[in-house]
């Protein structure tokens, strides 16, 4: 019965639910900002370890800096995404959320946007780490932020969907990366390529196809995520 | 492509053998699992009938 | 409902027979190719495996959709079977591709877009099988694997195109060429061989899944999933 009232909500109702969910998640992120900082520290540590794996060859480090940035971001994202649902698992808050006459679609998008914000912030915060460790900076900062926004959007949508599932299973820490990583291969490829062009130079103007791919990926996964989330959290 | 690939029968043999091995291994595993489940279902049905 | 496994067994037997015939033909009768030499013969199993791997996973996608639309357990059993078969065929495809690549390109892996996409699919659908292993509630397991299967399948073309563009910047290597007309017979025979084989195996494997499910939920197996999680009928109860 709650399902029907949920589905019957008009667009304004859904938007309100989305904003309410978004606000709640952002507030919780702010309150738990120690976690946010810890996840950033994890990402920075990963970037450091990658440089040890390559060795002090500054040319090689610069050439692969984009790859390291996105790998570090991807690894850290599993922590951020898992954590976004762990809050719900405590005290069975997720069931409480679902009992409210709120649309699951609004819930999904609210959470996905909050995760997107978190991941984008993480990505931007890791840029200076990349600049310092790999001597890999760019003057095209706006474009770089744009690529980070598009790439993290692509991570957030499927990530939120899968985090909702895996947070309720036994092997949650292994299952989320196991399910997510193969799925976001296009994001990794395109984001690394785009970031690399920004860092190393783009004489032939090849940036546009990669950002288009990122945008297309995001659009597709935000759409199907919204459609399928309801089934994932239903009882 | 510039030249002719010489020989290579060991690769051909390898490919066919791997194909046969994997397909027969999987088929066997399916048949074995099916037999196990059938037997268990039959045993359960017997138990139910006896009750 | 006890079903006789004759149908699937016939399919499997027929499939094996066709495969043996097609392979024998490809290995002995068909002439070696001009540039590729004998290595070309790998194509007589590689191409049919590729077609069937894609077919099996497409069928899995259909099962996932059908399950979400009908909530019928039989589609979940078929989904499990189809995904498992698809992963096995895809894994086989990667191994065959690797064996083909070594004499041809000198490396075990050459990032060919189709093969790379297949490798990603092995991980993607293998991961969903892993997910199934860790979810105890049958209803949830069914819904989640159906959802994950749909997302993974929708992703396949995106993965393919992204790898294709990514790869094209690095090498102009051609992918395995389509086989010229003289060699079509062993290809078609093997294609049908693997088709019958996997169809029969999926039919059997879904029965395995159904029987296991029946054991989990207690007979009789309801046609639709329970309305409330955890309210599965106990053994001996009516649905």
Whether the predicted pLDDT of A25 surpasses 90? no
Whether residue C144 lies within 8 A of chain A, CB to CB, comes out as yes
Helix (H, G, I), strand (E, B) or coil at B5: coil
Helices (H), C106-183: 113-134, 138-168
Task: State the best of C22, C106, C203, C205 to mutate against chain B, taking most chain B CBs within 10 Å.
Answer: C205
Alpha helices in A32-136 (DSSP H): 33-54, 58-89, 93-99, 104-134
Q: Which backbone phi and psi does C224 adopt, to 5 degrees?
A: -115, 160
Interface probe for A, chosen from C90, C128, C162, C169 (most Cβ of A below 10 Å), is C162
Contact A178, C127 (CB under 8 A): yes
**3-state DSSP assignment of residue C32:** coil
Q: Which residues of chain C are within 8 Å of residue B6 when distances are taken between CB atoms?
A: 37
Backbone angles phi, psi at C225, to 5 degrees: -70, 155
* Cβ A111 vs Cβ A102: under 8 Å: no
In the structure, do chain B and chain A come into contact, i.e. share 3 or more CB pairs under 8 Å?
Answer: no
Per the CB < 8 A criterion, the answer to whether A17 and A9 are in contact is yes
Name which of A194, A109, A211 is nearest A157 in CA terms.
Answer: A109
pLDDT computed for residue A92 by the predictor: 65
Q: C229 versus A4: which is more confidently predicted?
A: A4
Chains in touch with A (3+ beta-carbon pairs under 8 Å) read C
3-state secondary structure of A56: coil
Q: How many CB atoms lie within 10 A of CB C75?
A: 22
Distance CA A52, CA B43 (A): 60
- What DSSP character marks residue C235? T
Per-residue pLDDT tens digits for A110-157: 999 999 999 999 999 999 999 999 999 888 999 999 999 999 999 999
Query: What's the confidence (pLDDT) of residue C215?
Result: 86
pLDDT band, residue A46 (cuts 50/70/90): very high
- Confidence (pLDDT) at C3: 57
| Nearest alpha carbon to residue C142 among C76, C201, C80 | C76
How much is the CA Rg of chain A, to the nearest whole Å?
A: 19
Query: Residue C12 burial by CB count (10 A; 0-12/13-18/19+): exposed, middle or buried?
Result: buried
Cα(A112)–Cα(A110) distance, integer angstroms: 6
Domain boundaries, chain A: 2-233
Task: Write the burial class of residue A42 (CB in 10 Å: 0-12 exposed, 13-18 middle, 19+ buried).
Answer: middle
The pLDDT score that the predictor gives to residue A85 is: 86
Residue B1, pLDDT > 50, answer no
Contact C37 B27 (CB under 8 A): no
Query: For C163, which of A189, A210, A224 is closest by C-beta distance?
Result: A189
The domain ranges of chain B are 16-51
For the complex shown, is ipTM > 0.85?
yes
**Token code pair at residue A220:** 């597709």
Cβ contacts below 8 Å, chain B against chain C, sum to: 93
Sign of CA dihedral A34, A39, A42, A43: negative
Q: Are C217 and C210 in contact (CB under 8 A)?
A: no
Tokens of A95: 């069931």
Kindly list the distances between the CA atom of residue C157 and the CA atoms of A3, A144, C120, in Å, as whole numbers in the listed order: 33, 26, 11
* Rounded Cα gap, residues B31 and C201, in angstroms: 8
Q: How many percent of chain A have pLDDT more than 90?
A: 63
pLDDT for A43 equals: 97
Determine the pLDDT at residue A77.
96
Q: Which residues of B fall below an 8 Å CB-CB distance to C?
A: 1, 3-9, 11-12, 14-16, 18-19, 22-23, 26-27, 30-31, 33-34, 37-38, 40-41, 44, 48
| Long-range contacts of A173-181, Cβ-Cβ distance < 8 Å, separation of 24 or more | A173/A82, A175/C127, A175/C130, A175/C131, A175/C134, A176/A78, A176/A81, A176/A82, A177/A75, A177/A78, A178/C123, A178/C127, A178/C130, A179/C124, A179/C127, A179/C128, A179/C131, A179/C148, A180/A78, A180/A81, A180/A155, A181/A74, A181/C123
Question: How high does pLDDT run on average in chain A?
Answer: 89
- Residue corresponding to tokens 């993480």: A122
Phi then psi dihedrals of residue C130, to 5 deg: -65, -40
Residues of chain C with pLDDT under 50: 1, 227-239
Which of A171, A190, A224 is nearest residue C134 as measured by Cβ atoms?
Answer: A171
């Amino acid at each position: 019965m709650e399902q029907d009232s949920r589905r019957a909500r008009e667009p304004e109702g859904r938007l309100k639910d989305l904003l309410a969910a978004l606000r709640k998640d952002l507030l919780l992120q702010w309150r738990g900002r120690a976690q946010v900082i810890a996840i950033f520290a994890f990402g920075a540590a990963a970037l450091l370890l990658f440089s040890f794996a390559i060795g002090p060859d500054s040319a090689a480090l610069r050439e692969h800096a984009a790859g390291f940035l996105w790998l570090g971001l991807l690894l850290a994202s599993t922590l951020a995404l898992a954590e976004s649902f762990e809050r719900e698992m405590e005290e069975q808050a997720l069931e409480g959320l679902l009992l409210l006459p709120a649309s699951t679609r609004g819930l999904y998008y609210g959470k996905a946007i909050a995760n997107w914000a978190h991941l984008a912030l993480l990505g931007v915060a890791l840029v200076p780490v990349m600049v310092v460790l790999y001597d890999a900076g760019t003057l095209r900062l706006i474009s770089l932020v744009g690529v980070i926004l598009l790439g993290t959007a692509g991570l957030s949508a499927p990530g939120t969907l899968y985090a909702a599932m895996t947070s309720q299973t036994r092997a949650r820490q292994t299952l989320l990366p196991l399910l997510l990583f193969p799925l976001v291969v296009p994001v990794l490829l395109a984001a690394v390529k785009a970031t690399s062009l920004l860092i190393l130079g783009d004489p032939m103007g090849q940036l546009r196809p990669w950002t288009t791919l990122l945008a297309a990926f995001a659009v597709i996964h935000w759409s199907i995520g919204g459609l399928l989330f309801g089934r994932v959290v239903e009882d | 492509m510039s030249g002719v690939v010489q020989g290579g029968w060991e690769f051909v043999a390898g490919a066919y053998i791997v194909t046969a091995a994997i397909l027969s291994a999987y088929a066997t595993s399916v048949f074995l699992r099916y037999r196990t489940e059938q037997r268990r279902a039959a045993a359960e049905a017997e138990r139910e009938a006896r009750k | 409902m006890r079903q006789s496994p004759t149908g699937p067994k016939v399919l499997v037997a027929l499939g094996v027979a066709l495969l043996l015939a097609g392979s024998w033909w490809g290995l002995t009768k068909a002439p070696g190719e001009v540039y590729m030499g004998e290595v070309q013969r790998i194509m007589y199993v590689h191409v049919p495996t590729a077609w069937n791997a894609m077919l099996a996973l497409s069928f899995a996608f259909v099962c996932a959709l059908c399950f979400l639309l009908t909530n019928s357990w039989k589609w979940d059993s078929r989904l499990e079977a189809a995904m498992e078969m698809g992963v096995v065929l895809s894994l086989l495809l990667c191994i065959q591709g690797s064996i083909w690549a070594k004499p041809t390109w000198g490396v075990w892996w050459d990032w060919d877009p189709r093969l790379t996409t297949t490798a990603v699919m092995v991980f993607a659908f293998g991961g969903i099988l892993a997910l199934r292993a860790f979810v105890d509630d049958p209803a949830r397991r069914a819904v989640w694997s159906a959802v994950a299967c749909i997302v993974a399948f929708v992703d396949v073309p995106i993965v393919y195109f992204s790898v294709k563009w990514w790869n094209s910047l690095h090498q102009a290597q051609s992918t395995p060429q389509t086989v010229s007309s003289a060699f079509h017979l062993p290809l078609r025979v093997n294609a049908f061989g693997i088709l019958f084989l996997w169809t029969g195996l999926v039919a059997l494997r879904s029965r395995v899944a159904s029987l296991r499910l029946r054991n989990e939920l207690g007979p009789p197996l309801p046609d639709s999933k329970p309305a409330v999680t955890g309210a599965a009928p106990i053994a001996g109860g009516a649905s």
